[in-house]
Structure 1
Amino acid sequence: MKTYAVREITEYIKDLFDADRTLGSVWVQGEVSRLTRARSGHWYFTIKDAHAQLSCVMFRSAASRVSIDVSPGAEILVHGKVGVYVARGEYQLVADMVEAVGGIGDLHRQFEDLKRKLDAEGLFDGERKQAIPSFPKRIGVVTSPTAAAWQDIQTVLSRRMPLVEVLLSPSLVQGSEAPAQIVRALQRLYRRDVDVILLARGGGSLEDLWCFNDEAVARTVAASPIPVISGVGHEIDFTIVDFVVDLRAPTPSAAAEQATPNRDDLLQDIDRLRMRLAQELGDAIGLHSRELANLQGRLRWLTPSKRIEADSRGLADLRGRQERAISSTLARLHERLSSRERALDTANPLHILGRGYALVIDERGEIIRRAAQVSAGQRLDIQLADDTIKVKVDE
């Protein structure tokens, strides 16, 4: 079992307090008790309610800025950081601001309370945000028709996208009646064919902008079937509506810019696309022209006349080869015939007879080769080289 020193466990608890985001910046309301103003200028006091109490310390620099009367029994709002004082092992609120209940501090507390509530319900989640259309045809605007914000929005829209139709749904944007009017103005646009809604007003104090921290307004914006862009106050001003809308713009003019493309930018894009298209068309035409020329060149060799010409050359070549083959064959046959003729001529009996020999032939034309083949009184023909002698055998 691990054992901790008192200091170790206390510092561990202090680290847990320091890591907690809620405790790092918190407003606490309570009644002042046991107030001590030290000679150093630091204040040490306790705030309590019916169920608990909380020790507080306010250092001299912060205490010097307090403008209200802080005394035991007073109900106040205290802002600061809850931490652990290690030396005593106590947790305390290190205060940096004190406000009277109902003052600015109270509004901040209400703001933070509603912000935490709606955030816990998921109304600030990025997954529920709607995409802003790139090219809206009709834009709805919720603002006061007499406000400078309305004039600024019209000026920006006419410059950036003069063809867009703008539909104003008028409403108060300040005062106690403003939240209900804003809700009705939004609901009117929900029933109209608009592509995007601008919810806007110019700058002002926290109280002036308070209608945009109204819970009913925030929930109506969250339920919008149409993308909503807020442009409330100045860049440093944040309202509850800014967390709920689909897109926050720092000013009304910026909201109008966020809702529309710039006409000049579009014209430049069109020029770039035109040049790119011309380049790609030129490249494509050049490529297809080269392919066409190649096909035309191949086609010239595929026309009937070219085919006949090629076949004719082939036929002539075959005929020449055939003639050469026939001539060669005839020459070989002629040579063989001449050779045979010479052989026959050499073997011709007449040539033999010319050398003094003779042929004896009987009446049947048979050659007599032996004496036994003839008899007395038989008639024979003696064939000489150039004539025939007829004889008769005596014995």
Structure 2
Amino acid sequence: MLFQDSLGAQSAISVSALSLYLKELLETNDILQNIWVHGEVSNCKIYPSGHCYFTLKEGDAQLPCVFFKQARLRTAAPNLRDGMALAVNGRISFYERDGKLQFYVDAVMSLGEGALFRKFEQLKARLEAEGLFDSERKRPLPDQPTTIGIVTSLQAAALRDMLRTLRNRYPLTQVILAPALVQGAEAPASIANALDRLNEHGEAEVIIVGRGGGSIEELWAFNEEVVARAIARSRIAVISGVGHETDFTIADFVADHRASTPTAAATAAVPDIADWQADIEEKQQVLTDLMLEQIEDRKAQLAYAMRDLQRANPQSTIVQRRQQLDECTERLQTYMQHIISLRTERLRGVSLQLHSLSPLLTIARGYAVVRQQRDQTVVTSTRQVQAGDMLTIQVQDGQIEAVVRPSGAEI
């Protein structure tokens, strides 16, 4: 913008000066400093600070609004949400940092529900009556999908988030991308066609339909009946991941699984390989502990068996028996020596007795011992011999053979 100075020459002013000029221009207008405006709430966000930011829309026109915490508490304002029809009272000023007009709300009055919200509720009620939201028709998600289909925009940041999540959690899966418009008048048909193409292709085991957050108008494609019908007729389980945690669309109710964000949808679609690794490590540790426990038990059993074996070892028995044998041998030898000594003494005594009774002593005194030659029987009587018997006569220095003659025979 150009201004003329006092000399009539044109000169440029700074952005800050122009911003300050606009701010003063708006804030000095009595009408704009206390005005009621009505419209439909969109893109409503309440921050941890308690301040609420939303857009008030009507047709193609929109007005950024700020509702500070102090004003909300002071007026006991209702909880704002997308789709509400509101009348707001406040003032208009220029926010220099962002370079935009803002409506600073001092009070709100609910006018019921806006046109978009009524359209949303009407379609939701009709599809629910048809049974499209029934839990019985919801299909379980595959535990370990090898192929995942994704319906979203190629330019969407949500696509990068989903691919990164899938790659980090489960790099074994493959992705088939079905590009689609996710915003605008042509988006509903584009999303439905992408879903149909993935079903015709047939390789995907689960499909993610998603896009990042936005206003109710930006997410409206996922509230259209054509998208709901495409999800319902899909032969492949569908996960919806549209917007942020607080955003709900018709697609969420029809889908087999609703995720709060596109990243959450990717998380729900695949297992976490890190959990597998942790589970494997845990089972490995349990197995290791069991093996060590078994090894210790076997060691103890082996030690017991070795002690039993040592006790049952024949070598120790042999050594023991050898010692017992030596002791027995020694005792036997002692006993035998004792017996021999006794018997020797007894034999000596008997020998002496026998010697004293020996016929040799008698013979030595001049006597003789007569025996039958045939059987060495001692002849002590004449009745023991007959004529012709051969006799042996034992004398001191030898034997004499003799023949018995008949009585009265001549020599």
TM, length-normalised to structure 1: 0.48
TM, length-normalised to structure 2: 0.47
